[in-house]
Structure 1
Amino acid sequence: MPYIAPVHIVAPALILSVRPHGEHGAIVRALTPADGMQPGYVRGGRSRVLRPVLQPANAVLGEWRARTGEQLASLTVELIESRAALHGDPLAAAALSWVTALTATALPEAQPYPRLYEALDGVIGALAAAPSARGWLPGLIRYELLVLAELGFGLALDRCVVTGERGVFDLVSPRSGGAVSRAAAGTYAGRMLRLPPFLLGGSQSPDWPDLFDGMRLTGHFLDRDILADRREDVGAARQRLTARLKRAVA
């Protein structure tokens, strides 16, 4: 039989999901900078000591051990930074629930995505630092675009998909994911998705209509290309975030 090397990974990680397993344990998925998303079994993960540590978005130092790469690794964790305070705010909690669920669902295991690790850490940091949703929502939407791009579904926003012309456009084809000039869209302009300027490096303080247009844009392609046939609760997490954002604006 071919030799299968044991697994031993020690790395900083962001907790993505925690699922009860057995009477006292938990299966945890966490994102590392160099080893991608790693699952692991945490003994006593449902205990009063470890429950506060195993909160989605917490930064931990994880150690995964398994006799072979085919086994679920045992995981021990040491808390680096708690995001417990964010879970006490309904809007921030909804944002954390969405971005961690999206990442846990979309990424294949053990594939490195260092850009996503850095970007997710940045989104979580912005949630902790920004005084209002307008401070962190642009980064969250850009993170959604990055997830699409890293998984091979990137949007072509710098060239008109109809004419091939390069430039700055404000429409996107919901079918191709490519930018479309208004002249080329013609009577079909009403069927296009709006591309807000802040996603092209424009205003760093977009208004609410631009932010909701950005969410509508990324949501369309996430639903179609990544979340189709996935767990229903993942899409529900984004719907809860959108609903809470709309209530916050109203």
Structure 2
Amino acid sequence: MHLRAEAILLSVRAHGEHGAVVRALTESDGLQPGYVRGGRSRALRPVLQPSNLVLGEWRARTEEQLAGLTVELIHSRAPLFGEPLPAAALQWTTALSAAVLPDAQPYPRLYSALDGVLAAIEAAPAARGWAVALVRYELLLLAELGFGLDLERCVATGRDDDLVFVSPKSGVAVSRIGAVGYERQLLRLPPFLTAGGAAEWDDIVDGLRLTGHFLERDLLIGKGAEILAARSRLVDRLMRAVA
């Protein structure tokens, strides 16, 4: 096994006294794990930062063996980890992707979308500049892994207009008329997810609540409290930023 490709670093875990196991997303070959010798060294720690773009080279004698990985930094986003809100967004987005994507399955749309979200966070550390992109990335992640929401028509009436809620059970949109009497049991569907355009803070929060419900229910079962804690930190910091 020999692979050489640009990749977005998603997670880094210490292994042994000096090494690190890295999971990185490539455009054509999906998520690729690898062992970086000396990955905990002073020289490599700034390189092995989740969200960084690297040129990776994976080598293994067999497909079943954990590949040895060498990395060359292409673009660093490490400075953003000095800012609490961008840091929380980077940590959540990369941790989520590392936790739910299967190894070696190509998801070119997800790679492109993730790269776009990370670039948006870097370009505009204020949340209004990237939060909409983050919600859309989470929706795409659900769809690509087989848990997409149906936001085209109302599950109760079949109408395709005035869609303002989503059923937390079926993941299908509900119109205002179809929701009468059940509003408190439904998740709000923010307009930017169906009509596009700008989003107010309330819409962004509702979007994160919507995607968070289905991520936790369908993709993060048994993934550990650490992943959900990363999302909680992000939402808490967003709420403080808009308060």
Q: What TM-score results when the alignment is normalised by the length of structure 1?
A: 0.95
8 A Cα contact 2:21 2:34, kept in partner: yes
Residue 100 of structure 1 pairs with residue 100 of structure 2: no
8 A Cα contact 1:155 1:178, kept in partner: yes
Separation of aligned partners in 2, 1:43 and 1:201: 49
Residue 37 of structure 1 pairs with residue 38 of structure 2: no
Separation of aligned partners in 2, 1:188 and 1:86: 42
Unmatched 5+ stretches in structure 2: none
Per-residue deviation at 1:168? 4.4
Q: Deviations over 1:72-104 (max 9, x none)?
A: 000000000000111111100000000000000
**Secondary structure of 2:182's match?**
helix
The number of aligned residues is 243
8 A Cα contact 1:158 1:168, kept in partner: no
**Counterpart selection for 1:81 from 75, 82, 89:** 75
Separation of aligned partners in 2, 1:148 and 1:179: 15
Match of 1:194 in 2: 188
**Counterpart selection for 1:232 from 225, 237, 240:** 225
Per-residue deviation at 1:186? 1.7
Partner AA of 1:33 in structure 2? E
Match of 1:26 in 2: 20
Q: Deviations over 1:117-136 (max 9, x none)?
A: 00000000000111511010
8 A Cα contact 1:63 1:77, kept in partner: yes
Residue 161 of structure 1 pairs with residue 155 of structure 2: yes
8 A Cα contact 1:16 1:104, kept in partner: yes
**Counterpart selection for 1:212 from 182, 191, 205:** 205
Separation of aligned partners in 2, 1:169 and 1:57: 35
8 A Cα contact 2:117 2:133, kept in partner: yes
Q: What TM-score results when the alignment is normalised by the length of structure 2?
A: 0.98
Match of 2:43 in 1: 49
Unmatched 5+ stretches in structure 1: 1-6
Residue 203 of structure 1 pairs with residue 180 of structure 2: no
Match of 2:61 in 1: 67
**Counterpart selection for 1:115 from 99, 103, 109:** 109
Separation of aligned partners in 1, 2:210 and 2:91: 20
Percent identical among aligned pairs is: 66
8 A Cα contact 2:31 2:103, kept in partner: yes
Cα distance change on mapping 1:73 and 1:131 into 2, 3 Å: closer
Partner AA of 1:147 in structure 2? L
Per-residue deviation at 1:248? 1.1
Match of 2:236 in 1: 243
